[in-house]
Amino acid sequence: MSASLKNAVKRKTHKERAQPTARRKFGLLEKKKDYLLRAKDFHKKEDAIRVLRGKAEARNPDEFYFAMEKARTKDGVHVVSTSEPNRYSQEELRLMKTQDVGYLTLKAQAEAKKVERLRSSLHMIGMAKPRHTVFVDGEEEAAAFDPAAYFDTHPDLVGRAFNRPRTEQLANPPPVAEGDTLAGVAARSERRRATAYKELLQRQARGEKLSALAARMAYAKEVAGKGRKRKLTPAEAGGQKGVFKWKAERKR
Amino acid sequence: MAGGAKVVVEPHRHAGVFIARGKEDALVTKNMVPGESVYGEKRISVEVEAGEKTEYRVWNPFRSKLAAAVLAGVDNIHIRPGARVLYLGAASGTSVSHVSDIVGPEGARIVGLNSQYFLKNGGNFVISIKASCIDSTAPPEAVFAREVKKLQEQQLKPKEQVTLEPYERDHAVVVGVYRASKKKDA
């Protein structure tokens, strides 16, 4: 076969090996070039530590620089004082904070929307124990109260608040499950439901955190903004710290 | 929403109400007009026998106090196929549409007038109470007790009361019966 013909024939494309599914949690599969980068970086740091250790060992205790007079430590750690001025102006900082608050609010709202959508078909059936009060005439009746008789159901079903079928319903054609009730199908839908509930809980928690953070940041922004205010003492603010009260001012 | 074979529908104690268990875990009513959503709620269709389908509409207890009361295990909602229902305080009509699913066409009437004029002796009522709207300082249990007393003064005799966790905070639904005073009866 001539070389030109060989080139014309499609050759097998070799794909890079991917991370196996079982090891997905470790991220992308590391290749040789990735390893080299990591190894070089590690050895660079190792060398730097070795050099510093050597310098510390060979240190002259009598060594003195005038800069040492100004040097300070905080909790035993040397603090390098920088004379660099604030990079952003007060205005710019306020604008950046506004944008942060806006972004967090947006994300919190998106999360709330998703929670609402999930909740519309996940009704937490039988997950809570609401308080049920039954009003009867007089003490004797209260003493003789029989929940199963009152609800007209089987005694075993009294605790099943979300649906207590009546005796008549239990006697007549049993609560026929419409549709398919194959065990495999039931187990699969059970699993999908559990996943959906898990997602709901996670989204709820995340949404609450986001909106709480957004509120806190918005408050901090207000405190940093204009208007005469004073800080309330914890006693005045009902035990809470960092509560401010603004002076009423006529707005035009 | 195509439920197909993956949904199991369990008839509820209250006629016309069902519980659908599939990917969803939901209270549903049988849709009076299959193929139509009233307020953008989900629909679940279930194959009863080969080719025959029934469609249900999801009744969200986070939006409807009546649905929350049904799941809280109230004994009787007095709303069943063929019943005549006076629904006071209908806002966007989400709950009302499900009430209509249960009782069937021409059953639900929405009148914004005092129930005393419309209930006959032995007529039933279902009322939802939001504690924080009546007195936000008193504990909810005390507010419910006070409201029940008020109902009794108006000859509305309460039969039972359920709280609506986890769907609403500090809410209760009271179900009872209206009767004229005993003096008049005699």
Q: Which residue of A has its CA nearest to B152?
A: A135
Residues of A in contact with B60 (CB under 8 A): 119-120, 123
Q: Looking at the complex, does the CB of residue B26 fall below 8 Å from at least one CB of chain A?
A: yes
Q: Is the pLDDT of residue A20 over 50?
A: yes
The reply to whether B107-178 shares the fold of B4-74 is: no
- Grade residue A32 by pLDDT with cuts at 50, 70 and 90: very high
pLDDT (0 to 100) of residue B2: 44
**Chain B nearest CA to A89, separation (Å):** 45
| A130 interface with B at CB cutoff 8 Å | yes
d(CA B19, CA A173): 17
Q: If you average pLDDT over residues A181-190, what whole number do you get? A: 72
Task: Work out the minimum CA distance from B88 to partner chain A, whole angstroms.
Answer: 24
- Taking the model in full, what pTM does it have? 0.69
Kindly list the strands in the beta sheet with B123-130, ordered across the sheet, starting from the edge strand earlier in the chain.
A132-134, B156-163, B171-178, B123-130
CA angle B20, B24, B30 (to 5 degrees): 35
In a domain, A217, yes or no: no
Poorest-pLDDT segment among A176-185, A217-226, B25-34? A176-185
- Tell me if chain B has a CB within 8 Å of the CB of A125: yes
User: pLDDT tier at B107 (50, 70, 90 boundaries)?
Assistant: very low
Provide the number of structural domains found in chain A: 1
The predicted pLDDT at position A58 comes to 94
A81 domain-assigned: no
- Look at residue B92 in the predicted model and tell me its pLDDT: 73
Using the predicted structure, report yes or no on whether residue A175 has a pLDDT greater than 70.
no
Report yes or no on A221 lying in a domain: no
- Cβ(B129)–Cβ(B171) below 8 Å: yes
The whole-number pLDDT of residue B4 equals 47
Sketch the domain layout of chain B as residue ranges.
Answer: 4-74, 107-178
Q: What SS3 state is found at B71?
A: helix
Whether the pLDDT of residue A53 is over 90: the answer is: yes
Checking A197-200 for CB contacts under 8 A at 24+ apart, the result is A197/A122, A197/B25, A199/A118, A200/A115, A200/A118, A200/A119, A200/A122
Rounded mean pLDDT, B147-169 = 86
Plot region of A55 (φ>0 → left; ψ -120 to 50 → alpha; else → beta): alpha
Domain membership flag for residue A171: yes
For residue A51, tell me if it sits in a domain: no
pLDDT at B182: 52
Task: Cite the DSSP H helix spans in chain B.
Answer: 65-72, 94-103, 115-118, 131-134, 140-153, 182-185
Establish if A203 belongs to a structural domain. yes
* pLDDT, position B116: 59
The reply to whether A160 falls in a domain is yes
Q: Which residues of B are less than 8 Å from A166 in CB distance?
A: 13
CA distance B6 to chain A (A): 6
Greater confidence (B106 vs A123) lies with: A123
Chain A residue numbers with beta carbons less than 8 Å from the beta carbon of B25 are 121-125, 193, 197
CATH superfamily of B107-178: Vaccinia Virus protein VP39 (3.40.50.150)
Nearest residue on chain B to A123, alpha-carbon basis: B26
Q: Which domain holds residue A113?
A: 90-211
CATH number for the domain whose boundaries are B4-74? 3.30.200.20
- Does B112 or B34 have the greater pLDDT score? B34
Q: Which residues of A touch B161 (CB under 8 A)?
A: 132-135
Task: Name the average pLDDT for chain A.
Answer: 87
Closest CB from A124, A129, A179 relative to B5? A179
Q: What is the pLDDT of residue A21?
A: 93
Say if the Cβ atoms of A130 and B164 lie within 8 Å.
yes
Do residues A241 and A234 touch, judged by C-beta distance below 8 A? yes
A50 occurs within a structural domain: no
Taking only Cα atoms into account, the Rg of chain A, rounded to an integer number of angstroms, comes to: 35
Global ipTM: 0.76
